[in-house]
Structure 1
Amino acid sequence: MSNKTALHLEGIQTHIVNWLKTYAENSGVKGFVIGISGGIDSALTSTLCAQTGFPVLCVEMPIHQAESHVNRANEHIHQLKSRFPNVSNERVDLTPSFETFKNSVPTCENEAALSLTLANTRARLRMTTLYYLAGIHGFLVAGTGNKVEDFGVGFYTKYGDGGVDISPIADLMKSEVRQLAKFVGVPDSIIVAKPTDGLFGDDRSDEDQLGALYDELEWAMEAIENGKTTENFVGRQAEVFKIYQRLNKINQHKMQPIPVCEIPKSLRS
């Protein structure tokens, strides 16, 4: 829907890697831990972290995971370990923990609400696991969100995959993630795979859930930044614009700081 500007891929790669190195050095941490899903965002993030020379722990955390996701995750981890001696991996099967949780909490008759809540629970179990591993190793949890997900439509779980220490690729659009991933050597099978969060135990993609392609949502995000409104568009463009606006509005609670009820000074006198 829009013309993409050319990226200085080598410069962006160097910039992110140096940013990660500087942040780790200033924080006094020993390395990075990253959840590996088999998707392009985690593959790119882990590759950039590996290029810092700091230890990188790649963690696979299946919960009733589709075999295709597991295979892509394993392919990436194997490839990354063959390229970088500072990369190690762990596999933590969270399926039993997830099932124990499900059987310990009250059920819900609203199937849609239950399905979404359990999907978010999966993400939060993974976040807890990453922070456990980060804590025992003295690592930072590296986030894998991109710009349109994190700041456009809020397509992530609050205190799940949104619970991280640093966000190396959060200023890159999804299309830019694809370009940089190819440049740094992420396997083609991951680059061409349909994006999915894998939280529902089926084959639905991110774009099935969002109602629009990432490229379309990027176009809408840029259109709003350029001052465009719904009245400027018709047909599919108008539809996508409204989808973006709706998602951006309902997910502001993820993107904004936690609201604090400030007590007036007059009530403290």
Structure 2
Amino acid sequence: MQTEKVADHIINWLKEYATRANMNGFVVGVSGGIDSAVTSTLCAKTGMNTLCLEMPIHQDKGQITRARKHIDELQHNFANVSSLEVNLTPVFDEFRNAMPQHRETAPLDLALANSRARLRMTTLYYFAGLHKYLVAGTGNKVEDFGVGFYTKYGDGGVDLSPIADLVKSEVYELGKYLNIIDEIMVAPPTDGLFGDSRSDEDQLGASYDELEWAMLEKDGGRTSGDFEGRQREVFDIYSRLNSANQHKMLPIPVCEIPVHLKK
């Protein structure tokens, strides 16, 4: 990948899009992970106003520390960057306590995790509306178009997606070029939605390197029967998630009414 040219292309694309839309800048949720670090840095490099939001909800302390260090670094280097911390823990707790509880632990945990992401989306759009900013998404290609590893109307609810055509390894390559802090570069990727230290790999059953491989192979027309052992296992994981999460990746289905029924 021609990293410098890719970075310049994204920066110009962001600036041109915001200018054409007559918007004042960008708001980015910064989590302490590589995707949000790269996205917020690219937004900062446009020279337009860039608001970095921390939105902890019973957050792992390591994630908060990494996010704060990254934001401090951005604000040191870019006068156009501002930041706010909005502690959503009380809001989330109030929401959770208002909901009827169910015995099924796994569905309840997932429902609450997705609710965290949707509270953050609502917060991002509050500040976007307040300042006439665009909400910049932080999803990469494997997450957004491979396995659908994001929350519909949560972190999937954005105005534009600057890194969604880059697989995870390319995001790391861009992170290295952009001098993202070491703590973020080496931290295991995590969505941070469960209030513990579980990684994305723990949830997905495969690493991003493995999923990138499977995505490439599937796009090339390969099938599960072409592989054995761990490769077959990873290919099947990717295929299952890709199929199950198509509802996130495809346009919302519209029930089209036959013309003769409207007469």
TM-score band by shorter chain is: over 0.9
Q: CA deviation at 1:263?
A: 0.2
Letter in 2 for 1:260: V
Matched, 1:225 2:239: no
Could you tell me how far apart the structure 1 residues matched to 2:179 and 2:41 are? 8
- Residue 128 of structure 2 is aligned to residue 134 of structure 1: yes
Partner in structure 2 of residue 80 of structure 1: 74
Counterpart code for 1:36: V
Match of 1:183?
A: 177
- Residues 155-170 of structure 1 aligned to structure 2 (within 5 Å): 155-170=149-164
Cα RMSD after superposing both structures = 0.5
137-146 vs 221-230, which deviates more? 221-230
The alignment's TM-score, normalised by the length of structure 2, stands at 0.99
Letter paired with 1:98: F
Residue 241 of structure 2 corresponds to which residue in structure 1?
Answer: 247
| 1:57 paired to 2:55 | no
In the TM superposition, what whole-angstrom CA distance separates every residue of 1:80-133 from its partner, at most 9, and x where no partner exists? 000100000010000000000011111111111000000000000000000000
Query: Which position in structure 1 is the counterpart of 2:254?
Result: 260
1:217 Cα offset (Å): 0.3
- The residue type equivalent to 2:169 in the other structure is S
Query: Which portions of structure 1, spanning 4 or more consecutive aligned residues, are displaced by more than 4 angstroms?
Result: none
Percent identity between the aligned chains? 64
TM-score, scaled to structure 1: 0.97
Mapped to 2, the partners of 1:245 and 1:201 lie a distance apart of: 28
**2:104 corresponding residue in structure 1:** 110
Tell me, in whole angstroms, the C-alpha distance in 2 between the residues paired with 1:159 and 1:194.
25
Q: Is the counterpart of residue 14 in structure 1 residue 8 in structure 2? A: yes
For 1:214 and 1:133, how far apart are their aligned partners in 2? 32
Secondary structure in 2 aligned to 1:56?
strand
Distance of 1:207 and 1:266 partners within structure 2: 51
Answer yes or no: is the 8 Å Cα contact 1:126–1:160 preserved in 2: yes
Q: Please list every run of 5 or more consecutive structure 1 residues that lacks an aligned counterpart in the other structure.
A: 1-6
Do 1:34 and 1:57's aligned partners in 2 also have CA atoms closer than 8 Å?
yes
SS at match of 1:140: strand
Please say if residues 33 and 139 of structure 1, whose CA atoms lie closer than 8 Å, have aligned partners that are also in contact. yes
32, 36, 39: which one aligns with 2:30: 36
Q: For residue 197 of structure 2, give the secondary structure of its aligned residue in structure 1.
A: coil
Q: What are the residue-to-residue correspondences of 1:142-157 with 2, within 5 Å?
A: 142-157=136-151
Say whether residues 1:95 and 2:89 are aligned partners.
Answer: yes
| Partners of 1:194 and 1:111 in 2: CA distance | 25
Cα distance, 1:17 vs. partner? Answer: 0.4
- Could you tell me which amino acid in structure 1 is paired with residue 219 of structure 2? E
Q: 1:182 touches 1:188 (CA, 8 Å); kept in 2?
A: no
Q: Aligned-pair distance for 1:185? A: 1.2
In 2, the alpha carbon distance for the partners of 1:229 and 1:54 equals 46
